[in-house]
Amino acid sequence: MATRRKKRSIEIDDLYRIAITAHPRVSPDGKQLVFVHKTVGDKQDHVTNLWMVSTRAGASSAKAFTSGGRDSRPEWSPDGSQLAFVRSGEHGGQVALMSVDGGEARTLTDFPEGDVGALQWCPGGERLLVTFRARAEEWTSAAVTERKSNGRNDPPRVIDDPSYRLDGDGYFNAQRFALYEVSVDTGEHRLVYDKDRTGHFSFDVSPDGKRVALTTNRHKHAFAKEWTTEVALLDLATRKLSVLPGQLPGAKMTVRWSPDGKRLAWAGLHDEDGTRGTCNYEVWVADARRGRAKNIMAGNDRCLVAPTLGDSAEVEFAANLRWTPDSKRLVMQIGWQGAQQIHSIAATGGELRQHTSGKACHYLGNLSDDGKQLSMVVESATRPGEVAIGNLPRAAGTLRARTLTDVNGELFAQLQVCTPTSKWVRSADGSRVQVWTLLPPGSSSTTKRATVVEVHGGPQAQYGYTFFHEFQVLAAQGYAVVYGNPRGSKGYGEVFCRGIHHAWGTKDWEDMQAIIADMREQSFCDTKRMGFTGGSFGGYMTLWAIGHTNEFAAAIADRCVANMVSMWGASDIYIWPGSYLPGNTWNDTGALWEMSPLKHLGNARTPTLLIHSEGDLRCNVAESEQAYSALVMQGVPARFVRYPRNTSHGMSRSGPPDMRAHRLAQNLEWWTRWLRKKR
């Protein structure tokens, strides 16, 4: 009789072993599915290849389709005979083509050194539309090599345009993504649109291949005024741009033509004051000629941009939207109460139908040509995402989803993982706040143990049913982990998200106090060994907590915000004065300073670890520098760990694997030092 192998605890180094699946695309005939398979390579890099799986045979048929190691964003040709994808290299990215029968990939484009963004096939399969951004001449590989060989320094960056950097993307100065038309036969490309001021726009080609719909921002203050984004139509032959009439001010993204060519849909919000994502992103539909946009989700109080944060999946702060082939409905994913579910709605509005359910996150891919097959990635709190296929019902009801891959099966057969439990607590004003608890595997809920409370970033995001390697490692080390979604989070309606508009450190802190009070009452919580931690907005809340209470034995503030005045002047995100935040950073700083954790750190006595990346363009490393100085000047035990410039704000989720492992080891060392012994 075969003996069952004893499972082991999850470790820091398991982050090197977890495979990530993303960007699932079912073939036009619904028989095959391609997806991106991401692993950690031998040189502390990420290896991304395209994998193919039969929708009938499932996991037994899943195998690598490319081996370039830097392949991503696959899209099927209209006839399903080949795939276009982005292949990155030392000198940037190019578009490659490969027959679905296999063989060698053909590099199609010959762009200069730079970055390829999105790509889409035109009807007929003879052309592709591709976004590309050239690298500034002085920062090409050849220029850098020449300077080094001649002993010259890198040149200064002369900035004339405020949109010159983006966290995770780096510094690109005045270079912008532009739209190009590429011949599939020759690879020749021609510029068709370069008027977007930010370079970050969505596009979709019309069913007849003659026009392109764009969500574009051409305003001189586009860098800070998202609400000046417009839906426009571009004639590919003449390059004439016309703005679709009858649309309201507000941020817009993910524009889509209806298959019959009569209507346009996009994710947008009506916003004239720059509330920066606190409003719901909803589906807007307009006649492709007359315009007159209508919000078809009015009254549903759901948001298309409500990401569920984790550290073992690709997290996107963008809407995902698809038409059904008959042009009658739109399919989308919606984040709600910690989950991501697939929904649909009639193009004329009405009832929002939910097609998936359960404690999981379903990430929408695409539809087969007949609309019956829907590709997705499905993730849970106990398992990273796997690729699945579902039959989209014609009417209301749950789709029948089948998992097609098992890329992490062998690893997770060895691991003990913990299943979180969810509950709701009441805040001071009666608001309900969702909270999860993760206890060590096989442990008793009555055993007193050190407990760590985690706060997410954003704040317009949510915690929930994603696999969180970091949380699992903490639980494996014997800690109880508590995490929830305070006011300002997505996934609980617009009023909840707008609860800290102009007022960080108010309702969010009240909600965290409610979570902490409930945590203290639980039989597993040793109230003398509690820790508080979070990253980005969670780092802000960590510093806010230690400035307002001394009940925690230790804290870890990751990529924090300490000083609201300096933060918004040093971030890649521009906040228009008086919009999402009150005042400005030059002559109206009173309210910003009042909500700054730094103002209150004179009360702090909690031993605090500060973690920050020198390459963080979202929350500048100076935020942690200020907090560290304030703490050590007062004799508060503190450590400051600075990660190098090749890391960014999202290092804990997508950074270099060795840096992620080092960060987790620092976390465990800090918790061991301060939480494993009683004060």
More confident residue, 2 or 527: 527
Please tell me the predicted confidence (pLDDT) of residue 317.
87
Residue 444 has pLDDT above 90, yes or no: no
Which of the residue ranges 282-286, 374-378, 675-679 would you say has the lowest mean pLDDT? Answer: 675-679
Please report, to the nearest 10 degrees, the dihedral formed by the alpha carbons of residues 102, 106, 109, 112 taken in order. 120
Burial class of residue 327, CB neighbours in 10 A (0-12, 13-18, 19+)? middle
Task: Give domain limits for the chain.
Answer: 417-675
**Cα 72-75-76 angle, rounded to 5 deg:** 140
Token pair in block for residue 518: 């409930």
Which residue is it, tokens 């963004």? Answer: 117
Residue 102 has pLDDT above 90, yes or no: no
Report the DSSP beta bridge partners of residue 216.
Answer: 230
How far, in Å, CA of 650 to CA of 653, rounded?
Answer: 6
> Which residues does 165 contact at the CB level (< 8 Å), separation at least 6?
171, 172, 572, 617
Q: How does DSSP classify residue 70?
A: B
Report the DSSP beta bridge partners of residue 120.
Answer: 129
Residue 161 has pLDDT above 70, yes or no: yes
Q: What is the mean pLDDT of residues 33-54?
A: 96
Report the DSSP beta bridge partners of residue 379.
Answer: 361
Q: How confident is the model at residue 271 (pLDDT cuts 50, 70, 90)?
A: confident
How far, in Å, CA of 81 to CA of 99, rounded?
Answer: 6
Please tell me the predicted confidence (pLDDT) of residue 679.
43
Please tell me the predicted confidence (pLDDT) of residue 123.
97
Please tell me the predicted confidence (pLDDT) of residue 648.
95
HSE-CB for 481 with a 13 A CA cutoff: 25
Nearest to 180 by CA among 139, 138, 239: 239
Please tell me the predicted confidence (pLDDT) of residue 260.
98
- Are 383 and 411 in contact by the 8 Å Cβ rule? The answer is no
Q: What is the mean pLDDT of residues 440-462?
A: 93
Q: What is the mean pLDDT of residues 306-329?
A: 94
Token pair in block for residue 520: 């203290």
Residue 273 has pLDDT above 70, yes or no: no
Per-residue pLDDT tens over the stretch 173-198: 999 999 999 999 999 999 999 999 99
How far, in Å, CA of 628 to CA of 539, rounded?
Answer: 13
Q: What is the mean pLDDT of residues 247-269?
A: 96
Q: Cβ atoms within 10 A of the Cβ of 629, count? A: 15
Report the DSSP beta bridge partners of residue 555.
Answer: 532, 608
Q: Cβ atoms within 10 A of the Cβ of 432, count? A: 12
Q: What is the mean pLDDT of residues 11-31?
A: 97
HSE-CB for 628 with a 13 A CA cutoff: 17
How far, in Å, CA of 370 to CA of 612, rounded?
Answer: 49
- Are 17 and 413 in contact by the 8 Å Cβ rule? The answer is no
Q: What is the CA radius of gyration of the chain?
A: 25
Strands 361-367 and 373-380: antiparallel
How far from chain centre, in Å, is Cα 550? 33
- Are 27 and 74 in contact by the 8 Å Cβ rule? The answer is no
How far, in Å, CA of 300 to CA of 43, rounded?
Answer: 48
How far, in Å, CA of 315 to CA of 14, rounded?
Answer: 20
Q: Cβ atoms within 10 A of the Cβ of 98, count? A: 21
Residue 459: cis peptide before it, omega within 30 degrees of 0: yes
Which of the residue ranges 152-166, 260-274, 294-308 would you say has the lowest mean pLDDT? Answer: 260-274
Q: How confident is the model at residue 1 (pLDDT cuts 50, 70, 90)?
A: very low
Distances (CA, A) of 538 to 88, 205, 534, 566: 33, 40, 4, 18
Which residue is it, tokens 């009439």? Answer: 245
Residue 674 has pLDDT above 50, yes or no: yes
Q: In CATH, which superfamily holds the domain spanning 417-675? A: Alpha/Beta hydrolase fold, catalytic domain (3.40.50.1820)
Please tell me the predicted confidence (pLDDT) of residue 276.
64
More confident residue, 282 or 678: 282
Q: What is the mean pLDDT of residues 234-256?
A: 96
Strands 554-558 and 71-76: unpaired
- Are 538 and 531 in contact by the 8 Å Cβ rule? The answer is no
Residue 2 has pLDDT above 80, yes or no: no
Q: Residue 575 phi/psi, 5° resolution?
A: -105, 120
Per-residue pLDDT tens over the stretch 518-572: 999 999 999 999 999 999 999 999 999 999 999 999 999 999 999 999 998 899 9
Which of the residue ranges 227-231, 397-401, 660-664 would you say has the lowest mean pLDDT? Answer: 397-401
Residue 254 has pLDDT above 70, yes or no: yes
Note the helical H segments in 134-201: 141-149
Nearest to 497 by CA among 280, 338, 273, 298: 280
Q: What is the mean pLDDT of residues 229-255?
A: 96
Q: What is the mean pLDDT of residues 86-100?
A: 93
Where does residue 174 fall: left (phi above 0), alpha (psi -120 to 50 degrees), or beta otherwise?
Answer: alpha
**Cα 346-352-358 angle, rounded to 5 deg:** 135
Which residue is it, tokens 């300077």? Answer: 147
Share of the chain above pLDDT 70, in %: 98
Q: What is the mean pLDDT of residues 614-633?
A: 97
Please report, to the nearest 10 degrees, the dihedral formed by the alpha carbons of residues 281, 202, 21, 333 taken in order. 30
Please tell me the predicted confidence (pLDDT) of residue 316.
85
Nearest to 464 by CA among 502, 444, 438, 431: 438
How far, in Å, CA of 391 to CA of 83, rounded?
Answer: 23
pTM (2 decimals)?
0.96
Q: What is the mean pLDDT of residues 461-478?
A: 97
> Which residues does 616 contact at the CB level (< 8 Å), separation at least 6?
167, 559, 647, 648, 649, 651
Nearest to 406 by CA among 59, 35, 22: 59
Residue 3 has pLDDT above 80, yes or no: no
Please tell me the predicted confidence (pLDDT) of residue 443.
82
Per-residue pLDDT tens over the stretch 496-521: 999 999 999 999 999 999 999 999 99
- Are 172 and 159 in contact by the 8 Å Cβ rule? The answer is no
Q: Considering all CA atoms of the chain, what is the largest pairwise distance in Å, rounded to the nearest integer?
A: 77
**Average pLDDT of the chain, as a whole number:** 95
Q: How does DSSP classify residue 281?
A: P
Q: What is the mean pLDDT of residues 603-630?
A: 97
Q: How confident is the model at residue 166 (pLDDT cuts 50, 70, 90)?
A: very high
Nearest to 369 by CA among 126, 31, 65: 31
Q: How does DSSP classify residue 69?
A: S
Q: How confident is the model at residue 398 (pLDDT cuts 50, 70, 90)?
A: confident
Annotate 206-248 with three-state secondary structure: CCCCCEEEEEECCCCCCCCCHHHCEEEEEECCCCCEEECCCCC
Q: Residue 227 phi/psi, 5° resolution?
A: -75, 0
Q: Coil, strand or helix: which one is 385?
A: strand
